[in-house]
Chains A and B, each alone.
Chain A
Amino acid sequence: MKRLLYTILAILITSIVFAQSDLMQKGNDFYSKDQFKQAIDVYNQILMTNVESPELYFNLGNAYYKSKQYTQAILNFERAKLLSPDDEDINFNLQIANQHVVDSIQELPGIFIVRWWNSLINSQTTDTWAVISIITFLLFLTLTGFYFFSRTGDIRRISFWAACLLITFSLFSWSFAAKQKSRLVGHNYAIVIQPTVTIKSSPSEKGTNLFVIHEGLKVRITDKLDGWLEVRLSDGNKGWLPTESIERI
């Protein structure tokens, strides 16, 4: 009985997956024929089934770009980048799409070591870091075994230090994976979707107007208070804006 249930479940899941790749193909065909509106519809249909993939977001972003909806294009390129941070095509298209953003924000340079550290973390996805963590952990166990069971002094010495190194590496990879995962799940970054948004000094309409930003800009969400979000721009400026004016990546 249980086995039958599992079989049915497996068939269902595979059929959904098949339907999705069929839809993906259909969307790509529409795109190739310059029917971008239809392509957008089809890609969004796939997203409705609660699945995602960097390719899907990338293609959707492309379709939005071609139909001149640059803000949506940026949003989807950013989502694709989140899933696949080191993809060259995604970064290139995101850069092109960002040229349509009105605001030019001078990014804070940051400390070199922090920047380097962040770019190291961003160089791999959550799952890659997770796999690296597992592999190094398994190697660590093997070397620990060598250490314990080898009679030769040299092998024991080498395996000891290597094991120490590997377990450190494994732990760091784990923490990187955790960090990437929190980025993915936390949705702490957002794109401004309203044409112009006035940033307030406090979470209410009465707050002082601090500055104005335009659609397509990427902001980091740092706090929230009923219907208002505190955002931080890459140049370090902070302020409050209504929740509906931005969309989380």
Chain B
Amino acid sequence: MKKETLKKTMIRKIKILLILMLVVYGAMADSTQFTMEGPNVIAVGEQFRLSFTLNESGSDLQLPDLSNFDVLMGPSTSQSSNFQMINGKTTQSMSFSYIFVLRAKKEGKFTIRPASIKANGKTYESNSLDIQVVKGQAPQSNAGGQQNNQQQQEEAPTGNISKDNLFVRLALDKTNVWKGEQILATVKLYISQNIPLNGFDDVKLPTYEGFWTKEIEVPQQVNFTREVYNGKIYQVGILKKTILFPQQVGTIRISPFEITCLVRQRVRQQQGFFDDFFDNYRVVKAKVVSDPIAVISKDLPNQPANFSGAVGNFSFSGALDKSNVKSNEAVTLKLTVNGSGNLGLINAPKIDLPQDFEAYEPKTTDHTAASDKGLSGSVTFEYLFIPRYAGSFTIPPVEFVYFNPNTHQYETRSTETFKINVQKGSDDQNASVVNSYSKEDVKMIGKDIRFIKKNDPKFITKGSSFYASFGFYSIYFLSLIAFAVIFVVNRKKIKESANLALVRNKRANKVALKRLKEASGFMKNNQAEQFYESVIKALWGYLSDKLSIPVADLNRERASMTLFDRGIDQKTVTELVKIIDDCEFARYAPAAFSGTMNEVYDGAAKVMGIFEKQIK
């Protein structure tokens, strides 16, 4: 009873374990690889190996159609396993190989379709394989080598190996290119299949003069692959791969280069008995020289001013590390050129920074990798600049112009516009500087003529001027005439009024005497009122005539002022004023008047007498 339950639990445990293992296997199933390997090129009648490799143990190998080949042997299986323990972690890898030996039956290009195999209940398919079968090679003759052996006494004589069997070639993927366009140059060594190569003695690889070069890494150990060249199968080793960028215009010659190979050769000498039985080998030097080759490099069509020198296919981007900064803080503008072409020869694009920015030389870094597809990667230009003053600034889009050899055209890539907002920095180091308020001269950035005048001009006929014109002279003439007329008229008027004054002056005494006579009549009749009136009239009238002042404008002050001007002394003037006062008192306030008519009359006559003498 107890045993049974124990057994049951055991079975259950095993089941769980199995399920778990299956799950793990299922998870690992993706790493299962099944590959088919074979040579690329073979000759008719040649035997070759076709191997299938699986890193699991598999079963039920389904071969593809191999009717174009004779299966000579197989499958022979082999197995290898590999344990690795790294840092306590154990990994195990296994490989199972099925090897067939086949022979090609006829010429042509054949594709061996994928084989399939079952492993862990799943079916895996291998890759397919292209095999080129060429005409059968003539059996290798070593005769040439044998005949000359007698003459060669040196320890390493130069082998005489025909050029068909051993040569070097510089393969270029194109020979007609634009200046700066990349060319893939491969140095290939071709050796006939049945010549064993021992090594190289002197390798002079081409120096590509007139080119900027970039090496592509090739394995140190030369790997030989089979390749058909001129209908013959060769073992081909790639010695060097280089990307060339022509730097000159015109035909650039790549001078021939030479390689001395050490080839093992069998010598058959009839000196010894054993020689017939044992092949005697020796190593000979075979010097091979390549053919010269020329590349035609065309100059780029008319270059735009902002051409960066880049030839290839690129993308371009740019970014500011920060757009909000404080003054005196560094900002970096990073421009990246990405793509394939002459990346090392690109000039840094020009950027238009605002004038107040302090800019430094751009820093260039490149991450490039040379491969069969050409030199590709990215070049980064870092522009460091420091805004010194606060404000909003704009950096216009940066343009990158390159030549695309595929489209034969210049292409322009540009970034977007960059905006930088600079705030006033508050850093203490600069505070002391700011305190002194250092003034700056206005920087003259450029010199140019001033802008045109936009105001509406006053056009005049060429050579004409107001000076010496009719108008000019007529103004002089007319003003002179006007002056003359005014002068003459004025003179006349003055003369006339002077005459009138003279007449009145002359007449004054007469009129006054007449009035005084009239007054004396009144005096005799004792008509006081009339007497004083005629005396005062006589006086005023006399003064008016004598001084050329209208009666209406005449009063005591004016009269005395004018009389003073005319040189009459103070006493006479006072007397005149007294007489006038007396007359007026006598007329309007007779009671207050104490004098007599006689006194007044005499006084008036006396004053007028003085005036008559003194006023001309």
Q: Which of A137-145, A190-198, A228-236 contacts B (4 or more CB under 8 A)?
A: A137-145
Interface membership of B2, Cβ < 8 A: no
Would you call A59 an interface residue if the criterion is a C-beta within 8 Å of the partner chain's C-beta atoms?
A: yes
Within 8 A of B (CB), among A85-115: 89, 92-93, 96-97
| Distance, CA A97 to CA B447, complexed state (A) | 11
> In the complex, how many angstroms separate the beta carbon of A191 from the nearest chain B beta carbon?
17
Chain A residues contacting B462 (CB-CB under 8 Å) are 50-52
Task: Flag if A28 contacts B454 (CB, 8 Å).
Answer: yes
Of B210-218, B366-374, B468-476, the one touching chain A: B468-476
Q: Is the CB of B457 closer than 8 A to any CB of chain A? A: yes
Contacts of B451 in A (CB 8 A): 62
The complex places the Cα of A138 from the Cα of B465 at a distance, in Å, of 20
Chain B, residues 495-509, CB within 8 Å of chain A (1/0): the string is 000000000000000
Residues on the A chain within 8 Å of B472, using CB:
130, 134
- Expressed in whole angstroms, the Cα–Cα distance for A65 and B480 within the complex equals 50
Does B449 contact A96, Cβ atoms closer than 8 Å?
A: yes
Q: Is B352 an interface residue (CB 8 A)?
A: no
Per the 8 Å Cβ criterion, residues 48-63 of A in contact with B are 50-56, 58-59, 62-63
Query: B459–A17 contact, CB under 8 A?
Result: yes
Chain A: interface secondary structure?
helix
| A181 and B450 contacting across the interface, CB-CB below 8 Å | no
Taken together as a complex, chains A and B put the C-alpha atoms of A8 and B475 apart, in Å, by 27
Q: Is the CB of A185 within 8 A of B463?
A: yes
Q: A96-B448, A127-B466, A181-B467 are in contact. Are A50 and B461 (CB under 8 A)?
A: yes
User: Is A222 on the interface with B (CB-CB < 8 A)?
Assistant: no
B251 to A: closest C-beta gap in Å: 39
> Residues 527-566 of chain B: 1 if any A CB is under 8 Å from the residue's CB, otherwise 0?
0000000000000000000000000000000000000000
Residue among B447, B466, B468, B480 with the most chain A CB within 10 A?
A: B466
User: Distance (Å) between the CB of A185 and the closest chain B CB?
Assistant: 6
Determine if B465 and A89 form an interchain contact, defined as CB atoms under 8 angstroms apart. Answer: no
- Cβ-defined contact, A59 with B452, below 8 A: yes
Across the interface, A93 reaches (CB within 8 A) one of B450, B463, B465, namely B450
Given known pairs A130-B472, A134-B472, A148-B487, the reply for A55 and B453 (CB within 8 Å) is: yes
Which residues on the B side are within 8 Å of A180 (C-beta)? 467
Q: How far is the CA of A181 from the CA of B472 in the complex (A)?
A: 13
> Within the assembled complex, what's the spacing in Å between the Cα atoms of A65 and B451?
11
State the CA gap A51–B457 with chains docked (Å): 11
Q: Quick one: which of A50, A134, A141, A185 contacts B483, CB cutoff 8 A?
A: A141
Residues of chain A lying within 8 A (CB to CB) of residue B454: 28
CB distance from A93 to the nearest CB of B (A): 4
Q: Does A31 contact B (CB under 8 A)?
A: yes
A240 at the interface (CB under 8 A from B): no
The A-B contact count (CB < 8 A) is 93
- B456–A21 CB distance below 8 A: yes
CB atoms of A138 and B479 under 8 A apart: yes
Assess whether B467 is in contact with A127, with CB atoms less than 8 Å apart. Answer: yes
Q: A51-B459, A51-B460, A51-B461 are in contact. Are A58 and B468 (CB under 8 A)?
A: no
Q: Which chain B residues border A130 with CB–CB below 8 Å?
A: 465-468, 472
A42: Cβ under 8 A from any B Cβ: no
Asked whether, in the complex, the Cβ of B455 is within 8 Å of the Cβ of A55, the reply is yes
Instruction: State whether the Cβ of A184 lies closer than 8 Å to any Cβ in chain B.
Output: yes
Interface string of B115-144 (1 = CB under 8 A from A): 000000000000000000000000000000
- Most chain A beta-carbon contacts within 10 A, residue among B453, B462, B483: B453
Indicate if the CB atoms of A31 and B452 lie closer than 8 Å.
Answer: yes
Q: Which of A30-79 contact B (CB under 8 A)?
A: 31, 46, 50-56, 58-59, 62-63, 65-66
Contact B479 A137 (CB under 8 A): yes
B467 near A58: Cβ-Cβ < 8 Å: no
Chain A residues, CB < 8 A from B479 = 137-138, 141
Q: Which of A179-228 contact B (CB under 8 A)?
A: 180-181, 184-185
CB-defined A-B contacts under 8 Å, sample of 23: A17-B459, A28-B452, A28-B454, A50-B461, A50-B462, A51-B460, A52-B461, A53-B457, A53-B460, A55-B457, A58-B452, A59-B452, A62-B449, A89-B453, A97-B449, A126-B466, A127-B466, A130-B465, A130-B468, A131-B466, A144-B483, A148-B490, A178-B467
Q: Which 8 A-B pairs have the closest CB atoms?
A: A130-B467, A55-B457, A53-B457, A51-B459, A59-B452, A177-B467, A127-B466, A93-B449
Chain B residues within 8 Å of A, Cβ to Cβ: 447-463, 465-468, 472, 475-476, 479-480, 483, 486-487, 490, 494
* Known A21-B457, A89-B453; further 5 A-B contacts with Cβ < 8 A: A52-B462, A96-B447, A130-B466, A130-B472, A181-B468
